[in-house]
Structure 1
Amino acid sequence: MTIRVIIADDQSIVRAGLATILNGQPDIEVVGEAADGNEAVALGRRLRPDVCLFDIRMPNLDGVEATHLLAGPDVDDPLAVVVITTFDTDEHVSGALKAGARGFLLKDAGPALLVQAIHAAAEGDALIAPSITARLLATFADSATSARKRAEPLTALTEREEEVAVTVARGRTNAEIADELHISLSTVKFHLTSLMHKIGARNRVQIAIWAYETRRVRP
C-alpha cells in the first residue's frame, strides 16, 4: 500500500526537500503541495491523502488552524496531520495537538524520523519528536486541565489498559509497548482501541494527554 501525502509550507525549497525525502521511499508518494494554509485545506479536502504534512507558520491560514479544519474534534472524517516546524515552543505544540495533529516534528529531526512519523500517522499512530515529548505533553496537560476537572472514564480501565496508557504517555511505540509488556502487536492495538473508546480519545496523542491530565504519569 502506498501512503499518499500532501505537503504545505510557504517555502518552495522546503517543500522540494521534503518531497524528495518522501518520494524516495518505496511506499510513500507526495500527491500535492500547497504554499499556504488555505491551499492546504482545499487540497486536503479534494485529494483526501493518507497524511498531511503541515508547517506551523504559513500565510493566510497557519498550520494549527489548517489542522483544526481537517483533523479537529468537529470534523466527521478527520485526516491524519503531522506538523513540522522550526519552532518548538509550548504554544505551538499544544496548539497543534489540541487541533488534532497526530505528530509534531522539528525540521532538524532528520529524514528517518520524518519517514517514521508519516508511517505512524498513516497507521493511526502518533509520533512527537523525542526531545520534546514529555515536556510538551506535560505542559499541554497542565494548561488544558486548569479549567477542567480531570475525569475518569465511565467504564473502568483494565489493568492492562492502565499499563498501555502509561507506556503511550511515555512515548513508547507499539512495538516497544509489545516488548515491554510481553504482548503481541495485535494485542497492543486492541487495547489502544479499547482505551480510546473508554476515554473518548481519537488517537495516541490524546491518550498520552489524558494520562497526564489524570496524573497517571507525571513529568
Structure 2
Amino acid sequence: MTIRVIAIDDHHLILKALTDLLKGYPDIELVATSNQGSQLLKLVRDNKPDVAIVDLGMTADTFDPISTVKTLHEQHPNVKVLILTGYDDGLWVRELVKAGASGYMLKSDDFSLSIPQAIRALYMGGKFFSPAVADKIVDNDLDKLTPRELSVLNLLSQGLSTDTIAKNLGVSEKRVRNVLVIICDKLAVDRVEGVSPRVAAINKGRELGLIPKE
C-alpha cells in the first residue's frame, strides 16, 4: 500500500527536493504541497494523507505551528505529523510532541536517508527524531514558556498586531498584552530605552532560538 504524504514549507527548494526525492520510492507518494502553513488543515481534509511534513518557520504566513498541529491531531488522529525544520530548540521539540507530532527532523539531516525512514516509521505507528533533538524531549527546566506564551511570541515575530493575535487565539487583547509581560519576565528581557517590550521580546526569543530568525 502506498503511503500518502503532504508537505508544507515556505521554501520552494525544500518542496522541490522532497518531490524529487520521494519520486524514487514507489511505496511513498507526495500527493500535495503548499508554501502556506495556514493551508495545512485544508490539505489534510482534501488529500487524506497518512503523513504530513510540516515546517515551522512560515515567515510570510500567520501560522502558529503548535496550535495547528494540536488541532490537526484532534481532528485527524490517524494523520502522523513529521516536523521538518532548522530549529533544534528543546522547547519547540517538547511542545510539538505534546501537541501531537510523532517525528521531528532537522533540515541539516541527510534527506535521502532520513526522510523515507521517518515517513515509514510514522506510518507504522512509530516515532522518528533527529539524533540532535532526541535528548531534548524531556524537560528538566521549569523556567520555560508555556505553549500559549510561545505561540504569542511566534505570532508577534511575524509582525501581527496584538488585536490580530487575540482574534487568532480566541482571547482578549488585554490577555495578549499580559502574556507579553510574562514572556519578558520569563526570558529576562532587558529594558532598553527606545526599544518596545514587543521588539525586545522578539529579539530575545530569536537569540535563544525560540522563534525563527529573520
Whether the 8 Å CA contact 2:50–2:78 is kept in 1: the answer is no
Match of 1:70 among 69, 72, 80: 72
Counterpart residue number, 1:92: 92
Matched residue pairs, number?
141
Output one character per residue of 1:9-67: Cα deviation in whole Å (capped at 9) or x when no partner. Answer: 01111111112112221211100001112111110122110100000112221333331
Give the gaps of 5 or more residues in structure 1. Answer: 144-219
The two structures have a TM-score, normalised by structure 2, of 0.61
| Residues in 1 aligned to 2:106 and 2:64: alpha-carbon distance in whole angstroms | 16
| Residues in 1 aligned to 2:70 and 2:37: alpha-carbon distance in whole angstroms | 11
Counterpart residue number, 1:10: 10
| Residues in 2 aligned to 1:106 and 1:64: alpha-carbon distance in whole angstroms | 17
| Residues in 2 aligned to 1:76 and 1:117: alpha-carbon distance in whole angstroms | 19
Give the gaps of 5 or more residues in structure 2. Answer: 143-214
Output one character per residue of 1:111-150: Cα deviation in whole Å (capped at 9) or x when no partner. Answer: 211111110111111111122212x1222x665xxxxxxx
Cα distance, 1:79 vs. partner? 1.4
Q: Give every structure 1 segment of 4 or more consecutive aligned residues whose post-TM-superposition deviation is greater than 4 Å.
A: none
Q: Secondary structure at the match of 1:53?
A: strand
| Residues in 2 aligned to 1:115 and 1:34: alpha-carbon distance in whole angstroms | 19
Whether the 8 Å CA contact 1:3–1:28 is kept in 2: the answer is yes
| Residues in 2 aligned to 1:43 and 1:7: alpha-carbon distance in whole angstroms | 9
Whether the 8 Å CA contact 1:23–1:29 is kept in 2: the answer is yes
Cα distance, 1:78 vs. partner? 4.0
Counterpart residue number, 1:126: 127
1:1-219 to structure 2, matched below 5 A, reads 1-58=1-58, 59-71=61-73, 74-75=74-75, 77-110=77-110, 111-134=112-135, 136-139=136-139
**Alpha-carbon RMSD:** 2.1
- Percent identical pairs in the alignment equals 32
Q: Counterpart amino acid of 1:119?
A: R
| Residues in 1 aligned to 2:125 and 2:21: alpha-carbon distance in whole angstroms | 21
Whether the 8 Å CA contact 1:81–1:101 is kept in 2: the answer is yes
Q: Counterpart amino acid of 1:32?
A: A
